[in-house]
Amino acid sequence: MAEETAQPRRRRVDAQRNVDALLEAAKAVFAASGVDAPVREIADRAGVGVGTLYRHFPERSDLVKAVLEREIDACADAGPALSAEHAPGEALVLWLGRYTELLGAKRGLANALHSGEPTLEALRAYFFERMSPTLEALLDAAAANGEVRDDVTTRDLLSAVAKLCMPVPGEGPESSRRMVALLIEGLRRT
Amino acid sequence: MAEETAQPRRRRVDAQRNVDALLEAAKAVFAASGVDAPVREIADRAGVGVGTLYRHFPERSDLVKAVLEREIDACADAGPALSAEHAPGEALVLWLGRYTELLGAKRGLANALHSGEPTLEALRAYFFERMSPTLEALLDAAAANGEVRDDVTTRDLLSAVAKLCMPVPGEGPESSRRMVALLIEGLRRT
DNA sequence: AAGCATACGGAACATTGTTCCGGATCACCA
DNA sequence: TGGTGATCCGGAACAATGTTCCGTATGCTT
């Protein structure tokens, strides 16, 4: 039981090598040119043909998703730890800071969430599916503790902060941070 | 001095007719399909060829700009009136409501402001250039009156509300309104 | 009515996402 | 080890869309 004992053959090593190269290339290209970068550019950088890219990632969005999934998971999973080590209100604010940071650092993420393209719907769904339980717990705890209003929904808050973190030419991440801080002020119990 | 007395001849009447048809078609198409709608669709609806469209609007963004300019102006110009008839803090909140409404109603506007496309840079610039003085006056007055914090910049606030109004599949304008309301709570003097 | 600048239409080009398939490559079995 | 078939690869080709170009048509002025 050392390896997976599924019935189909093992994935060919060259295929795995290509998948890795593609992920690395995509990560670099997305960071440099945003998630709207041409598929061909990624394929070229990885040294494979576009056919190969599409074999492993049937849609562009699958590639975007694969690149960002790990970071999304890490952020979502950071909630419980913060919750265990801080007071409810503080944990909430700290996590929102972490969340803001994620969206600010991954230039593509905020854009991908708001791009109207239907092909990125899957990423959007994954993102909210993953983040919702985390924020829900933090928000409920803080509200129960009387530190924040109890009439704000998890979804609204996740969405609001994500929107405030959208990169716009001429604005830096500091701007996002200030706006998120303002929103958090509004969240505090009146 | 009844007409413009510029030196070049008057614009041909058929040309003017086409410009009008294009603007009307674009308005309808943008409302129905968003600002990303294909240029050809607009040309077809207006009953002209794409060449004609490009003759009058050298870039897609020029068409977008032309369609939205009037509404932007109306919103920006609404500030002074509100300021004259209400207390500073109230005028500010009322105008932000108007601003939110504009962004919510014109489905394309919020998207256009945040689309990374460089060709829409001109629209973005016009938008902020037009809105800034209005909000600046309202914000200064309210801050001077002690009703809101004085450490929030005009640009941050304009930008924040515009972002919160970005349409996302699965969310309606009510969501935007709730998030803007939360932000305004944060704006109030603590 | 003639002459000409202006304007028109749509074919054609460039870019980009996606599909397809003939041929190369690898994993398993004997 | 060598054969064989499934897996995988590359890139040409297709579709959608922004933009350019130019031969032709049309309205304005004289």
3-state helix/strand/coil string of A118-133: HHHHHHHHHHHHHHHH
Q: At A124, which amino acid appears?
A: R
Cβ of A2 near strand D (distance < 7 A): no
Q: Assign B6 a pLDDT band (cuts: 50, 70, 90).
A: very low
The string of pLDDT tens digits covering residues A24-52 is 999 999 999 989 999 999 999 999 999 99
What is chain B's mean pLDDT, rounded?
91
* CB distance B22 to B60 below 8 Å: no
Beta bridge partners of B188: B148
Task: Give the chain B residue nearest A148 (alpha carbons).
Answer: B182
Q: Which of A113, A171, A187 shows the shortest C-beta gap to B159?
A: A171
Question: Cα–Cα distance between A71 and A31 in angstroms, integer?
Answer: 14
Residue numbers in A 82-141, CB below 7 Å of strand C: 119
Across B13-27, B83-97, B109-123, least confident range: B109-123
Average pLDDT over residues B113-126: 86
Cβ of A6 near strand C (distance < 7 A): no
Q: Considering all CA atoms of chain B, what is the largest pairwise distance in Å, rounded to the nearest integer? A: 61
Question: Cα–Cα distance between A35 and A112 in angstroms, integer?
Answer: 7
Residues of chain A with pLDDT under 70: 1-9
Which residues in B lie closer than 8 A to residue A121 (C-beta atoms)? Answer: 169
Cβ separation B186–A184 shorter than 8 A:
yes
> Tokens 């829409």 label which residue?
B120
Q: What is the dihedral of CA A174, A178, A179, A185, to 10 degrees?
A: 160
The string of pLDDT tens digits covering residues B142-156 is 999 999 999 999 999
**Which pLDDT score, from 0 to 100, does residue A186 have?**
93
Residue B59 φ/ψ, nearest 5 degrees = -130, 155
Nearest nt to the CA of A17 via C1' is D8
Residue numbers in B 21-80, CB below 7 Å of strand C: 47-52, 54-56
Which residues in A lie closer than 8 A to residue B187 (C-beta atoms)? Answer: 182, 185-186
From residue B10, alpha-carbon distances to A142, B15, B48, B54 in Å are 68, 10, 21, 20
pTM of the model: 0.85
Cβ separation B114–A166 shorter than 8 A:
yes
The string of pLDDT tens digits covering residues B7-60 is 566 889 999 999 999 999 999 999 999 899 999 999 999 999 999 999 999 999
Task: Give the chain A residue nearest B178 (alpha carbons).
Answer: A156
**Which pLDDT score, from 0 to 100, does residue B2 have?**
39
Q: What is the dihedral of CA B142, B153, B65, B32, to 10 degrees?
A: -80
What distance, in Å, lies between the first and last C-alpha atoms of chain A?
Answer: 57
Q: By three-state DSSP, how is residue B48 classified?
A: coil
Task: Give the chain A residue nearest B174 (alpha carbons).
Answer: A156
What distance, in Å, lies between the first and last C-alpha atoms of chain B?
Answer: 57
* CB distance B30 to B108 below 8 Å: yes
